[in-house]
Amino acid sequence: MFRRAYQLDLCHRGQEYCNYFLNACSDR
């Protein structure tokens, strides 16, 4: 759970990272 939150945090920090972790972003 914490790890998923960390990935989501990266998305919020930079949309570019979101592309890298699209899976995490898409998996709200």
pLDDT of residue 17: 59
Question: How far from each other are the two terminal CA atoms of the chain, in whole angstroms?
Answer: 11
Which residues have CB under 8 Å from 4's CB, separation 6+?
24, 27
* pLDDT tens string 1-28: 566 667 666 656 666 655 666 666 555 4
Domain edges within the chain = 1-28
Q: Are 20 and 6 in contact (CB under 8 A)?
A: no
pLDDT recorded at residue 19: 65
Cα–Cα separations (whole angstroms), residue 12 to 19, 28: 11, 12
pLDDT of residue 20: 64
Q: pTM of the full predicted structure?
A: 0.22
Max CA distance (Å), the chain: 22
